[in-house]
Structure 1
Amino acid sequence: MGPSIFMSSAFAGAEPVPRESRTPHSSRDLLVYLTLVALTWGAWQISRLQLFEAGDDVGYWLGVAGGVMMVLLFSYPLRKRFRFAQSWGKAKWWFLVHMLLGVGGPILILIHSTFEVRSMNAAAAFYSMIIVALSGVVGRFIYSRINRGLHGEQVDLLALQQRAGLHQREAHSRLRFAPSVERRLMAFGRHEVSLRPGLWMSLRRVFWLPVKQWWTYLACVRELQGPLQDLAAQGAWSQKNQAKRQHLARKLVRRYLNSVVRVAQFTAYERLFSLWHVAHLPFVYLLVISALFHVFAVHAY
């Protein structure tokens, strides 16, 4: 087989693959977490200015505003639970408001408290809020892995599997010039998707699988060097052309691995999201009880 045939079959003629999301989870998550850190840091800086105390008028009304926002958080789950409320606007806007309230409420409470607790009931309410807020961040992280953006539209596992299959066919058709890479990718896909689900396996897929994916990618990149250099010599490629084809081959490997990992992690994140609900609710109840007791104590004494 001549080099021209190799070149055309290796990098052209395969089925088109849907584009990946332009905003990767990692970039979007990093932006969210940096924003939360910046807001918390800003609340800390305001508290250091000593412009007010928790018990004076400014501090009191900041606490009221934060408390009201925390109460309004319950409007979203109530809207989902009661059928008559499900026609009150689009769910994506409710969820967006829910997230904004979940950030704004705790930030106002932090400013209200000036990062100090002076009583047992205040400490119980404060630390319950911190736990619930951190739990909400974890829930948002998991939720984003099994839903498309703010729409709450659940990602179809079958669609992900079909995409992985499409990438597998593309990898097979375009990487046959590098058999070792092809075998490594196919073995990675068969092994990870076929593993039985379970709590331990879910944790493994969330925390260990990305590491294994990266190692597999690096191994494939190394194994691509030799075959690509052989093709470059046979086809008399320019350095620019060789670099372009090397980039395309790496992109193909990366895209296939990403598809396999998404399929493997989908059920893992679904299971973890169910467990998160079980763990999150008791802290919410504790927050409600401690906050009510704190409000009663403030006005009674």
Structure 2
Amino acid sequence: MKKSVHIAYITTMALIVLVVTLYLIYTGYTYYGTSLEERFYHPRHNWFKPSGIYGQGLGIIGTFMILFGVVIYIARKRYNFLAKQIRLKYLLEFHIFLCTLGPILVLFHTAFKFGGIVSVAFWSMVAVVLSGVIGRFIYNQIPRTIEGRELSMNELQHMKTDLAVVLHQRFNLESNTITIVTDLMSKENTIDNRKKLGYLKKVLGRKDLPKKDRNAILQMVKKEIVLSNKIGRLQMMQKLFKYWHVAHMPFALIMLIIVVIHVAVTLAFGYKWIF
């Protein structure tokens, strides 16, 4: 999938979430804006209340979206389900879409009335969604292959070249120039990358080198800088990802357990939807 198509894919899902949210607000704003004590007298109370056809339907559909989004993502990530048909990074976007729209539907299912064990499930859901946003940011920072698989440290290290050897063999640079380049590359945290390249460009400009070779050297150094940044980012993000799981998974389990209890109690009291 090309980058432009990928952007269109994400944009479409974001628009769906926005449109559905606006529709839910527009449809029920008079009911949701009514105080809890007076809602019983609202002409469409039996429709919008959590046990109503509309309200309960939102809860059922929203819960199904969340469960489906979680299950299909775990099945693909851990068990390679549909690995040949769907790239992991695109399925992640779909997982985020379902686990964003689903909680919104559940929110309107509650009719903004929270209490008892349901409030625990709701705030757990909020914590899961917020931690998911943070997790998405961390995920974006981890270097990956085009298929969406996380690159290992060894793979990144193998992508790096012995810059000094290549500069000497391919461009026949003098040892003092090669030393300047390698020294610049070693100062990863003390000099801004743009300043490194600017300084190197001046150094190469004073050498008797064709413009084509100077540009090739600069591109090579840029590539090495990018790889060095990826290696540093991978180390940091892998640590953050471990801490992120500590926050994300427990809230997700709490939410799941309470949702199961909520559904069981609802069925026990004889509440049914359209079935």
Question: Which of the residues 223, 244, 247 maps onto 1:276?
Answer: 244
Q: Which residue of 1 aligns with 2:112?
A: 117
Deviation string, structure 1 residues 89-119 (Cα, Å, up to 9, x no partner): 4387495556524421431331453496212
Q: Which residue of 1 aligns with 2:145?
A: 148
More helix per residue: 1 or 2? Answer: 1
Q: How far apart, in 2, do the equivalents of 1:32 and 1:142 lie?
A: 21
Task: Give the length in aligned residue pairs.
Answer: 241
SS in 2 for 1:148: coil
Q: How far apart, in 2, do the equivalents of 1:123 and 1:66 lie?
A: 16
Deviation at 1:67, TM superposition (A): 0.6
Structure 2 unaligned regions, length at least 5: 29-46
Match status 1:74 vs 2:54: no
Say if 1:293 and 1:101 are closer, same or farther in 2 by CA, change over 3 A.
same
Q: Which residue of 1 aligns with 2:156?
A: 160
Q: Which residue of 2 aligns with 1:223?
A: 199
Normalised TM-score (structure 2): 0.64
Q: How far apart, in 2, do the equivalents of 1:179 and 1:87 lie?
A: 46
Q: Which residue of 2 aligns with 1:58?
A: 54
RMSD: 4.3
Q: How far apart, in 2, do the equivalents of 1:100 and 1:258 lie?
A: 29
Q: Which runs of 4+ in 1 moved over 6 A?
A: 27-36, 78-81
Q: How far apart, in 2, do the equivalents of 1:259 and 1:171 lie?
A: 17
Question: Which of the residues 229, 233, 237 maps onto 1:265?
Answer: 233
Deviation at 1:149, TM superposition (A): 5.0
Deviation at 1:274, TM superposition (A): 2.7
Q: How far apart, in 2, do the equivalents of 1:111 and 1:283 lie?
A: 19
- Taking every aligned residue pair, what percent have the same amino acid on both sides? 20
Structure 1 unaligned regions, length at least 5: 1-21, 190-211
Deviation string, structure 1 residues 1-58 (Cα, Å, up to 9, x no partner): xxxxxxxxxxxxxxxxxxxxx96xxx99998986776555334322331257463423
Say if 1:178 and 1:259 are closer, same or farther in 2 by CA, change over 3 A.
same
Say if 1:98 and 1:63 are closer, same or farther in 2 by CA, change over 3 A.
farther
Say if 1:149 and 1:186 are closer, same or farther in 2 by CA, change over 3 A.
closer
